Amino acid sequence: MSEALLAVTDLQVAYGHIEAVQGISFEVHGGEIRTLVGANGAGKSTTLLALSGLVKAKAGSVRFEGEELTRLKTHQIVERGLVQVAEGRAILTTLTVRENLELGAYRRPRSRDGRSAIASDLERVLALFPRLHERIDGLAGNLSGGEQQMLAIGRALLARPRLLLLDEPSMGLAPIIVQGIFRTLREINAEGLTIFLVEQNVRQALKIADHGYVIENGRIVLSDSGERLLGDPKVLAAYLGG
């Protein structure tokens, strides 16, 4: 297998005396969807925050395209192409849909070619999410929960990620909306975007994942293809009602 796009080795994160992530290691390869699944409080979101530099690692290494990220600031990590869609969407409700999307491109060049590329990417996002196109000049705060999740993903795509991190994209959404979101993730992955997904919705995440990791109490306890994890008796018993 080719060298990993993202390589995490012995990552530890603590909040005071509480060790939220206890020496986990995993990889994400270019063109894949990989997922980290587990119960609430297992350490999933903390792992993503550490990858993005939003919380500092206590120990361990996070290498993206061979470069160590733990010494970089969050905006520098985004500039490298590692972009996160936060849990809870974190959209700016008093701005329009268009303004929220354009914020995703704030670090990109504003030359003539740069503006043209941003406009092209915006058109692509609106094609992916027609509901956003219909509401492009309306306030983001008036969107439904599913539309807000579409907006959060679209905003991240405007940053031109090489690796897209998603934190609980199904949270609080109706099953039919979740299915649509996951179909879109498959579509953008098929176009070449690498995705690392953190989810409590274990079944949906493993269905689309090339490879999955199961985290419990800050430690990765299982690692296998998404398909095999879906049929694993331990996963069935713990997360899928088997």
Q: Based on the structure, what is the number of domains in the chain?
A: 1
**222 located within any domain:** yes
**22 within domain boundaries:** no
CA distance 78 to 163: 10
CA–CA distance, 105 with 201 (Å, rounded to integer) = 30
Instruction: Give the model confidence (pLDDT) of 22-47 as tens digits.
Output: 999 999 999 999 999 998 899 999 99
Domain for residue 82, yes or no?
A: yes
Give me the domain span that covers residue 112.
Answer: 32-54+76-239
* 225, 211 contact by CB (below 8 A): yes
Position 5 in a domain: no
Residue 16 lies in a domain: no
Looking up residue 213, the CATH number of its domain turns out to be 3.40.50.300
pLDDT for position 133: 95
Give the bridge partners for 212, in sequence order.
35, 224
* 98 inside domain: yes
The stretches in the chain having pLDDT less than 50 are none
From CA 238, how far away is CA 232, in angstroms rounded? 10
What per-residue confidence (pLDDT) applies to 238? 87
Residue 63 forms part of a structural domain: no
Residue 42 CA, chain-centre distance (Å), reads 17
pTM, whole model, 2 decimals?
A: 0.93
Residue 205 inside a domain? The answer is yes
Residues 190, 69, 220, 20, CA torsion sign: negative
